[in-house]
Amino acid sequence: MLLTKAQCFKRALLISKKADYHACFSPLFRVQQLSSDCKPSNKNNDSIFSHSYTGAARLHRSDNMKTLRLFSTSNEAVKPTAVQKQPISEKKDDDDEEGFFSRHLGKMFGGVILGIALYFYRLSRNRQRKEALEDQLRAGYGAEPHEIEDLREANRKFGSGALLAVGRAALERFPGGAAPYQDFVACAAEGLRSAGVPPLAQGFILDRVAAQYIRSQPKLLEEAQRGAEPPLPLPVLLAILSLACYSDVEERVEVFHELMAGGDGGGEGEGAPRRRLLSTAAAAEVVGALVHSCQLPAERRVREIEEQRYPWMSYREIKPPEMLDEAFSELKWDAKEKYNTGLTQEELGAVLRSQAVCAWGECWRDPRQR
């Protein structure tokens, strides 16, 4: 059905309002209804309706927003909505990216080499510090190990029985537990004559050890410098004399246990022979006497200081009571029980042969050869 010019004019106004509204939302708005319904009867008519129709047809054919202003009654410019094109980002493959270790391979390798070098350097410095203290303690010995061996070989007739007889005579003559060195030598010479043992050969080694012990004790050294003869503890004097005793380890342990035992211990049953027990204090005196008479290796007298481990290890000299406690721990004994009861001869021998004490170097010997 063909519309009249008045109807086309009204519809054109209505469509222009709709176009003005939709232009804010769709830049590609097309007026299809106008092109299908508004068909002018006269193509040569140049009226306003013809221009309106022509503009509407042009709106249908064009995508440009400027053609919509032919029907728009508003003075506002229609701003087309810009469609932003997002660039396609180039995605990197995760396999192509280098990891942390790949990027820092050289640094890590250099750090490992540096750490190994510092580790061995620290070990070397710690060993040097420990050996320096061992050399200092070894310098305080009055006799070398080979000299002690030669001394025992030169006095083969001086056995453990003669040493026990001299020790008993010294304990009777000096009940105070100490004696001047010359008085003890006179007592020992008398005891050797009674036992039928000739005078000791190479006795100057014993004199040197006794003099070194006096120099290591400030109080004794002060008395000696004043011209007096300081009294020395009997355990130390007996340990010095034992350097010349030609006997095995078990016999020496028996002599020390017999001379240093301070009381009797209980037997295993009624009527059983009572076994003499050595107190832990006396056992510590035995260990100390062996230290001062050069019969303990210097390596066993050095311990680490746990509080001073970095950057270098620090070392100190261990005391005889501490060595005794370490021996109890090594042998898995109850220290409180041993302090209350005491040690038998076999237990004293186990303590002296332990790694903590290592008297006469017995800890380095094969147990099958002891």
70 assigned to some structural domain: no
- Give the pLDDT of the chain (370 residues) as one tens digit per residue: 556 766 766 776 666 665 555 554 444 444 444 444 444 444 444 444 444 444 444 444 444 444 444 444 445 444 555 545 555 555 455 545 667 777 888 888 888 999 999 999 999 999 999 999 999 999 889 999 999 999 999 999 999 999 999 999 999 999 999 999 999 999 999 999 999 999 999 999 999 999 999 999 999 999 999 988 999 999 999 999 999 999 999 999 999 999 998 544 433 444 333 468 899 999 999 999 999 999 999 999 999 888 888 888 899 999 999 999 999 999 999 888 888 888 999 999 999 999 999 999 888 776 555 5
- The answer to the question of residue 35 being in a domain is no
Instruction: For the full predicted model, state whether its pTM sits above 0.85.
Output: no
Helix (H) or strand (E) holding 231: strand 231-233
Q: Which amino acid is at 79?
A: K
In a domain, 86, yes or no: no
Domain membership flag for residue 148 = yes
The amino acid sitting at 40 is P
Give the domain range for residue 192: 142-262+276-293+319-360
Residue 370 inside a domain? The answer is no
> Is 214 inside any structural domain?
yes
On whether the CB atoms of residues 260 and 284 are closer than 8 A, the answer is no
Is there a domain that residue 167 lies in? yes
Q: Say if CB 369 and CB 300 are below 8 A apart.
A: no
Contact between residue 292 and residue 236 where contact means Cβ atoms under 8 Å apart: yes
Asked if 74 and 18 touch (Cβ cutoff 8 Å), the reply is no
Which residue has 């927003």 as its token pair?
65
How many domains does the structure of the chain reveal?
A: 1
**Structure tokens, 198:** 């000739």
Q: Give the angle 211-212-214 at the CA atoms, nearest 5°.
A: 65
Residue 188 lies in a domain: yes
The DSSP output letter for 228 is -
Length of the chain: 370
**How many CB atoms lie under 10 A from the CB of residue 177?**
11
Q: Maximum distance among all alpha carbons in the chain?
A: 167
Crossing angle for the helix pair 160-173 and 234-241, to the nearest 10 degrees: 160
